[in-house]
Amino acid sequence: MTLEEKGGLVVLKETQVPGKRSAGKCDHGGIVNISKPSVVQLNFWGVNYKWGGWGSDSLLGADQGMQFVSPLNGDARIMSTIRYYNTYDDLLIYKHKQEKSLPVYGQGGGMIMYNKSLYYNCYNTKNLCKLNIQTNAVEQKALADASYNNRFSYSSSAWQDIDLASDEDGLWVIYATEEDSGNIRIGKLNATNLELMQTWSTTQYKPGVTNTFMVCGVLYATRTLSTKKEEIFYMYDTNTSKEDFLTVRFDKIMENVQSLSYNPNDHKLYMFNDGYLITYDLTFKELK
């Protein structure tokens, strides 16, 4: 906001911030910069629980008050517990929480909250699980052809063969198959019945990346440069079915990226970084 004199009065005028967009807008040329990491807190189970995921509801327009945190058990595989906070401020001070055991366990840190449901890989199967957080009911559906049980997980996080994501275009699943020789496959999901509506096969080997996320129908993949540096180096645009390489580097506070997801409501990345809950702000390329 800026000050402007109008009719003898000083008023506030909204100004456009370069690289920033209103929620739901895809009128940009992709990611060009990632902010310094903002450390929210250590997960509620402590430093020995380095794996998991967290965030808020990533349905476009959803209430952003409630936060969820779900560290994996000590085996770095099983997701058995989820904790909900009413607000972001409650999360910061560990107050007004609800902690629940999942009626159907999950595995890996690939969970996402979307339209008041938690989507994740059901334990020991290639099934997708959809947990209604209000009723605690779970629906399951097998992800056809998907490899699972640590066959093609990411390089720094085991058991994340099946990774859920969401963006301005809806709900996605990122996985790999034997048919594609372990390369990343992107699937567009029907959030209601978990049906695969369309898939895209890439040339990027899934165990060769640390994690992925979706923005405006574009998959971005990261890799490790050092213990303190990460890089977005690969992208696949489902809108054009074209892939490309890029260089967008950003800092980490800890060495390993266990999960990474995007929320189109605030244009932030949410990272589970060796047990710490981290956020980043994204900057997008201006279109001329």
Give pLDDT tens digits for 28-59: 999 999 999 999 999 999 999 999 999 999 99
Query: In this predicted model, what pLDDT tens digit does every residue of 242-285 receive, in sequence order?
Result: 999 999 999 999 999 999 999 999 999 999 999 999 999 999 99
**33 Cβ contact partners less than 8 Å away, ≥ 6 residues apart:** 19, 248, 282, 283
Decide if 1 is inside a domain: no
Q: Virtual CA dihedral for 93, 94, 95, 98, nearest 10 degrees? A: 160
Q: What is the pLDDT of residue 11?
A: 36
Q: What is the pLDDT of residue 18?
A: 43
Decide if 134 is inside a domain: yes
Domain range enclosing 94: 21-284
**Residue 213: CATH number of its domain:** 2.115.10
Decide if 11 is inside a domain: no
For the record, the structure tokens of 10 come out as: 């000083």
Q: What is the pLDDT of residue 3?
A: 40
Decide if 9 is inside a domain: no
Q: What is the pLDDT of residue 37?
A: 98
Decide if 3 is inside a domain: no
Q: What is the pLDDT of residue 22?
A: 78
The strand ranges marked E within 170-228 are 170-176, 183-189, 196-205, 211-215, 218-224
Higher confidence at residue 99 or residue 14?
99
Q: What is the pLDDT of residue 216?
A: 97
**65 Cβ contact partners less than 8 Å away, ≥ 6 residues apart:** 56, 86, 87, 88
Average confidence (pLDDT) over 178-192:
98
In percent, how much of the chain has pLDDT > 90? 90
In the chain, % helix, strand, coil (3-state, to 5) comes to 5, 55, 45
Decide if 13 is inside a domain: no
Phi, psi for 172 (deg, rounded to 5): -135, 160
Q: What is the pTM of this model?
A: 0.92
Give CA 184 to chain center in angstroms.
Answer: 16
Under the banding of pLDDT at 50, 70 and 90, the label for residue 171 is very high
Per the structure, the count of domains in the chain is 1
Decide if 5 is inside a domain: no
Under the banding of pLDDT at 50, 70 and 90, the label for residue 88 is very high
Query: In this predicted model, what pLDDT tens digit does every residue of 111-156 receive, in sequence order?
Result: 999 999 999 999 999 999 999 999 999 999 999 999 999 999 999 9
Strands 67-71 and 78-85, sheet pairing: antiparallel
Under the banding of pLDDT at 50, 70 and 90, the label for residue 287 is confident
**192 Cβ contact partners less than 8 Å away, ≥ 6 residues apart:** none
Closest CA to 263 of 171, 157, 130: 171
**C-alpha distance across the termini of the chain, in Å:** 23
**DSSP tag of 17:** P
On average, the pLDDT of the chain sits at 93
For the record, the structure tokens of 250 come out as: 């950003």
Is residue 262 classed as helix, strand or coil in its secondary structure?
A: strand
Decide if 162 is inside a domain: yes
